[in-house]
Amino acid sequence: MAGALQAATAALLSSTPLKTYGSDRLRLGSAPRSLAGRKGSFLVVRSDAGFGSGSNARTRPGKLIPNAVATKPDASASSTSSKPGHELLLFEALREGLDEEMARDPRVCVMGEDVGHYGGSYKVTKGLADKYGDLRVLDTPIAENSFTGMGIGAAMTGLRPVVEGMNMGFLLLAFNQISNNCGMLHYTSGGQFTIPIVIRGPGGVGRQLGAEHSQRLESYFQSIPGLQMVACSTPYNAKGLMKAAIRSENPVVLFEHVLLYNLKERIPDEEYICCLEEAEMVRPGEHVTILTYSRMRYHVMQAAKTLVNKGYDPEVIDIRSLKPFDLYTIGNSIKKTHRVLIVEECMRTGGIGASLQSAIIKEFWDYLDAPIKCLSSQDVPTPYAGTLEDCTVVQPAEIVKAVEDLCK
């Protein structure tokens, strides 16, 4: 089933076959961990885009697009009716995951601002209030601290709330509840209470949204003990991670990105769940390991096209799990390539990249042939002006240069 899907995907995107990850790549059963062998999730960037693999590189010069987000899918090659699965946008994938879990378990409920009748500010919860009622999809007043606390209190009794922050930055108001109550109650009660809550919302640098609405909260939450953090980047993993987060007994913070909600992808009709602690192998390679997550994945893939044209073979891993890191997948990659580049949207100081860098140095120092490079956003509030905003985040040109420097 998976093989047929991937073959169809390959035909859709390019004339050269993609590397496929079938079941032969997975070690099941006795191995302590499985490979992150997902089917290659493809991105749709522009109608002239596509990405080659290995030596069968496309000869068309890759045009670097500083703001790599989804636009119209490749219209010429797609014929939707004959393919298995169904096509949808990332926010619809999130909604599908949420809908399936709410139908499956009556204890799952949603609370947040404008999630009910308005349908969610990014339409993630559209239609759910009509389907499940006002109590299960609860419109809250603008009181992040207390409705997050309410969600945690409800989770203590056994409900499974999904709390939405309209923008992750607003959850700073709820930091006390998230840190002290959400993260720590399981420990301070000696295991009596579990907090199966999901806290989700869009974050990251958008399109000139201004400093306060462009925050990256993963760097602030990462030291809270007891919390798990994941970041989704494609419709496939968005739905899978949403379902996994809801089913997990631990509190999970699911980071979405404002600019990725309109990504389109074909996902399977059957039910599936992604593992919360696993990283995703986006593009296997030999020369350098590029670790990234969320929106920067697309900048990296954009840079990867140029790199491939220049003869490099980068291995791109979407780390997905921000806390804890999937050091197994990352380590295997480093043992193969011996060079690491981290590309993230967090700020240089105290971000996910900083922690990842230190974890890699601690675990895999002997395997490194060059110092780790970490490309992060600048330590500045995100400016409003478009040109300045582009300078704040990592652009594909910088990624290309960094790989070239690493591989000298």
Number of residues that bind another protein (CB under 8 A): 71
Measured from the CB of residue 364, what is the shortest distance to another protein in angstroms?
19
Contacts (CB under 8 A) with another protein, residues 81-100: 85
If binding is defined by CB under 8 A, does position 317 make contact with another protein? no
Sign of torsion, CA 54 59 64 70? negative
Peptide bond into 324 cis (omega under 30): yes
Of the residues 78, 146, 208, 378, which one makes contact with another protein according to CB under 8 A: 146
Question: Smallest distance from the beta carbon of 341 to another protein, in angstroms?
Answer: 25
Contact stretch for another protein (CB under 8 A) within 118-126, 270-278, 281-289, 377-385: 270-278
247 lies in the site for another protein, by CB under 8 A: yes
- SS3 of 158, please? coil
Residues 322, 219: Cα–Cα separation, whole Å: 10
Closest CA to 67 of 189, 190, 205, 171: 205
Per CB under 8 A, does 23 bind another protein?
Answer: yes
Q: Which stretch binds another protein (CB under 8 A): 113-121, 154-162, 279-287, 378-386?
A: 154-162
Quick one: CA dihedral 203, 207, 213, 217, positive or negative?
positive
CB 23 within 8 A of CB 50: no
- Least distance from C-beta 226 to another protein, angstroms? 5
- The minimum distance between CB 117 and another protein, in angstroms, equals 14
206 CA to centre of own chain? 15
When asked if residue 121 is in the footprint of another protein (CB under 8 A), the reply is: no
The yes or no reply on residue 331 touching another protein (CB under 8 A) is no
Can you spell out the DSSP letters for 101-119? HHHH-TTEEEEETT-SSS-
Q: Is 190 among the residues that bind another protein (CB under 8 A)?
A: yes
Cβ-based nearer residue to another protein, 204 or 235: 235
At its nearest, how many Å lie between another protein and the CB of residue 29? Answer: 10
**C-beta of 2 vs 397, nearer to another protein:** 2
Extract the tokens encoding 317.
């891993």
Strand order in the sheet with 280-283: 280-283, 314-318, 288-292, 340-347, 373-377
Q: Tell me, what DSSP letter sits at residue 320?
A: -
Which one of 62-70, 136-144, 288-296, 332-340 is the stretch in contact with another protein (CB under 8 A)? 136-144
Q: Which two tokens stand for residue 168?
A: 């992750």
Select from 66-74, 119-127, 265-273, 330-338 the region that touches another protein (CB under 8 A).
265-273
Identify which range of 50-58, 208-216, 274-282, 341-349 contacts another protein by CB under 8 A: 274-282
Q: Which of residues 202-221 bind another protein (CB under 8 A)?
A: none
- With respect to another protein, which residue has the nearer C-beta, 147 or 298? 147
Which amino acid, one-letter code, is at 188?
T
CB atoms within 10 A of CB 104: 13
Among 15, 56, 189, 262, binds another protein (CB under 8 A): 189
Q: Which of 16, 34, 208, 309 lies at the binding interface for another protein (CB under 8 A)?
A: 34
Q: Supply the minimum distance, in Å, between the C-beta of residue 101 and another protein.
A: 12
CB of 377 closer than 8 Å to CB of 346: yes
Is residue 144 flagged as an active site residue?
yes
| 140 is a site residue for another protein (CB under 8 A) | yes
Q: Does 153 sit near another protein (CB under 8 A)? A: yes
Active-site position among 213, 257, 287, 299: 213
Q: What is the 3-state secondary structure (H, E, C) of 336-401?
A: HHCCEEEEEEEECCCCHHHHHHHHHHHHHHHHCCCCCEEEEECCCCCCCCHHHHHHHCCCHHHHHH
Query: Is residue 156 near another protein by the rule CB under 8 A?
Result: yes
Catalytic annotation, pick one of 92, 96, 113, 144: 144
Q: Of 71, 194, 208, 309, which one interacts with another protein (CB under 8 A)? A: 194
**Cα distances (Å, whole numbers) of residue 406 to 28, 284, 286:** 34, 18, 13
Question: Within 364-403, which residues bind another protein (CB under 8 A)?
Answer: none
Does the protein bind another protein through residue 275 (CB under 8 A)? yes
Active site residue 213: yes
Q: How many alpha carbons lie under 13 Å from residue 332 in its C-beta half-sphere?
A: 15
For residue 177, the SS3 value is helix
The two tokens of residue 280 are 């995703």
Which residue numbers are catalytic? 144, 213
